[in-house]
């Protein structure tokens, strides 16, 4: 069996199967591509990222300081900037997370040697010198070519503090805050659009009830004044549908633009399990939790539809991803974990769900960007690697701002014990140049899936694609072998007579391009 998988991998993933192993017997999936039923735009902001003051995400991640030997621009690593620009990263959320409701933005402006130090009581109890603050983050976003998403402090902060922050970064005329910005070296405002009005108000953001938070939100949002602000309410933890109902009932629609939702692929919060070397049961349970995103979005959307049938308010899934036990020998409060093909499965399947619900899901943020949780980038000193999750995000960038093509999927099940999950998920889109892209994920750890896609009614002349898979489901990139897992050309696609046939290996992600 191991010989077959190695050979399978060495043959450029051309999907040649030797013999008849029971664990690799193909299953059948049928997909109908409804190319004549375009269903609105997939917002590029679904492909957003998250940078919290947590562990080595900011300090010793993005930011190494201007005196570092690592090539940088104003202290920000050039290699990270280049890697994220290659993802067409649309937005970046900062400074938290739980840190946001402990962060006082005025501590992070002005001359760096005059900024007060703070203790990050939320994550690891480490002391930070505030050398990375508002100017540093917003100028980094300019380097990245991305839109900033600022999370405001409604927990330990004040209404005036958040109102001042909005004025500081956005007001173009003369005012106390814009004058202070100019004094600190920034003549023109940054014109930040996306604003979170607190974070996880039900927990680390203040342990509030939804009824209490409604009043707080209305107050804060009223005094966040400026043009073109996109205000996002702190939303539900997973399946807390009462939270969403209370916000939709209690907040005037003209006061908010989005409601957040947080869901991590964690089967057991008390015993998350390792990021590598996990059992099939741990893999199955993690994928079960990840695929639950479909149910959560469907049910929260149904509540929002009652009060907002025109879908003015977005569902903003601004924290999602896999969460495991930290790597041995690392600070438990730093949440540093390895990223494997299991994480690629989480990413591909979740992004398919977001794409297919893009009528309501307009913004999402993978947690997190560098060195924390399901990171797309890991660093160690001067070394940097791209994770399997990074490669999925790069393969899927073709969907950004493309027109959704609805799909109907009938798939076999991935069975483990007495439980089962759908093996294959699919989403499709048509971009501005007329190209059609189909992304397909097989989460089944053991079996190949034969997929037949009905494209009747469209005359496609050619198909090409890329695949991400590996010999083992916990394969990952290391600083010694940073390209162990990376995309390859996909050769197992046949287009004939209105039908597209492909073979998906176990635990694989494929993105096809049809012309």
- Please give the C-alpha separations between residue 371 and each of 216, 339, 363, 420, in angstroms, as whole numbers: 33, 10, 22, 33
Which pLDDT value is given to residue 14? 39
List the catalytic residues: 200, 319
Separation between Cα atoms, residue 221 and residue 195, nearest integer Å: 10
Asked if 162 contacts 234 with a C-beta cutoff of 8 angstroms, the reply is: no
Domains in the chain, start-ordered, CATH in brackets? Answer: 29-36+407-514 (2.60.40.1180), 41-402 (3.20.20.80)
pLDDT value of residue 24: 52
**CA angle (313, 315, 319) in 5-degree steps:** 145
The per-residue pLDDT string of the chain (515 residues; one tens digit each, 9 = 90 and over) reads 343 333 334 334 333 333 333 345 677 899 998 877 768 999 999 999 999 999 999 999 999 999 999 999 999 999 999 999 999 999 999 999 999 999 999 999 999 999 999 999 999 999 999 999 999 999 999 999 999 999 999 999 999 999 999 999 999 999 999 999 999 999 999 999 999 999 999 999 999 999 999 999 999 999 999 999 999 999 999 999 999 999 999 999 999 999 999 999 999 999 999 999 999 999 999 999 999 999 999 999 999 999 999 999 999 999 999 999 999 999 999 999 999 999 999 999 999 999 999 999 999 999 999 999 999 999 999 999 999 999 999 999 999 999 999 999 999 999 999 999 999 999 999 999 999 999 999 999 999 999 999 987 778 889 999 999 999 999 999 999 999 999 999 999 999 888 899 999 999 999 999 99
pTM of the model: 0.92
C-beta of residue 29 within 8 angstroms of C-beta of residue 407: no
**Buried/exposed code over 223-262 (b: 16+ C-beta within 10 A; e: otherwise):** ebebeeebbbbbbbbbebeebbbbbbeebeeeebbbbbbb
pLDDT the model gives residue 457: 72
Strand partners, 151: 196
C-alpha span between 469 and 427 (Å, rounded)? 18
Does residue 376 contact residue 49 with C-beta atoms inside 8 Å? yes
Residue with tokens 């695929």: 291
**CA 509-339-441 angle, 5° bins:** 15
Contacts of 380 (CB under 8 A, 6+ apart): 479
Alpha-helix residue ranges (DSSP H) falling in 120-206: 134-144, 159-170, 176-183
| Torsion 454-455-460-465 (CA) sign | negative
pLDDT value of residue 471: 97
Angle, in degrees to the nearest 10, between helices 241-250 and 293-307 = 20
How buried is residue 495: exposed, middle or buried, by Cβ count under 10 Å (0-12/13-18/19+)? middle
- DSSP letter (8 states) at residue 340: B
On whether the CB atoms of residues 247 and 315 are closer than 8 A, the answer is no
CB 415 within 8 A of CB 25: no
């Amino acid at each position: 069996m191991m010989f077959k998988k190695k050979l399978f991998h060495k043959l450029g993933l051309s999907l040649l199967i030797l013999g008849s192993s029971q664990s690799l017997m193909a299953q059948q999936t049928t997909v109908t591509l409804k190319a004549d039923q375009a269903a609105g735009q997939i917002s590029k902001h679904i492909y957003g990222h998250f940078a919290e003051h947590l562990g080595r995400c900011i300090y010793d991640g993005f930011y190494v300081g201007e005196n570092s030997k690592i090539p940088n621009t104003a202290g920000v690593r050039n290699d990270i900037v280049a890697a994220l620009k290659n993802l067409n990263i649309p937005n970046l959320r900062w400074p938290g997370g739980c840190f946001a409701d402990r962060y006082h933005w005025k501590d992070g402006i002005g001359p760096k040697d005059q900024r007060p130090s703070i203790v990050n009581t939320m994550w690891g109890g480490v002391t930070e010198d505030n050398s990375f603050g508002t100017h540093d983050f917003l100028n980094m976003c300019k380097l990245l070519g991305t839109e900033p998403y600022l999370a405001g402090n409604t927990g330990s902060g004040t209404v005036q503090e958040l109102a001042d922050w909005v004025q500081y970064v956005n007001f173009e005329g003369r005012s106390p805050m814009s004058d202070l910005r100019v004094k600190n070296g920034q003549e023109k405002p940054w014109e930040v659009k996306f604003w979170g009005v607190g974070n996880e108000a039900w927990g680390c953001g203040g342990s509030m009830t939804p009824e209490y938070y409604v009043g707080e939100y209305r107050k804060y949002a009223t005094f966040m004044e400026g043009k073109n602000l996109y205000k996002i309410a702190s939303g539900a933890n997973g399946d807390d549908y009462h939270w969403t109902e209370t916000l939709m009932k209690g907040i005037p629609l003209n006061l908010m633009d989005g409601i957040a939702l947080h869901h991590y692929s964690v089967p057991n919060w008390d015993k998350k399990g390792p990021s590598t070397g996990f059992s099939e049961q741990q893999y199955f349970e993690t994928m079960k939790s990840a695929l639950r995103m479909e149910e959560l979005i469907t049910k929260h959307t149904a509540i929002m539809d009652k009060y907002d049938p025109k879908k003015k308010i977005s569902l903003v899934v601004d924290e999602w991803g896999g969460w495991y036990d930290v790597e041995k020998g690392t600070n438990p409060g730093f949440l540093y974990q390895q990223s494997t093909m299991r994480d690629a499965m989480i990413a591909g399947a979740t992004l398919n769900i977001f794409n297919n619900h893009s009528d309501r899901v307009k913004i999402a943020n993978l947690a997190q960007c560098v060195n924390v949780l399901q990171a797309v980038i890991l660093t160690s000193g001067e070394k940097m690697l791209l994770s399997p999750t990074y490669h999925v995000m790069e393969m899927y960038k073709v969907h950004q701002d493309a027109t959704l093509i609805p799909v109907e999927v009938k798939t076999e099940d991935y069975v483990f014990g007495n439980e089962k999950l759908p093996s294959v998920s699919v989403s499709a889109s048509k971009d501005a140049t007329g190209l059609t892209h189909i992304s397909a994920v097989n989460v089944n750890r053991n079996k190949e899936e034969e997929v037949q896609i009905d494209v009747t009614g469209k005359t496609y002349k050619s198909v090409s694609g890329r695949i991400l898979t590996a010999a083992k489901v916990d394969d990952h990139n290391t600083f010694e072998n940073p390209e162990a897992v990376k995309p390859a050309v996909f050769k197992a696609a046949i287009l004939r007579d209105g039908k597209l046939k492909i073979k998906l290996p176990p635990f694989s992600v494929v993105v096809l391009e049809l012309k």
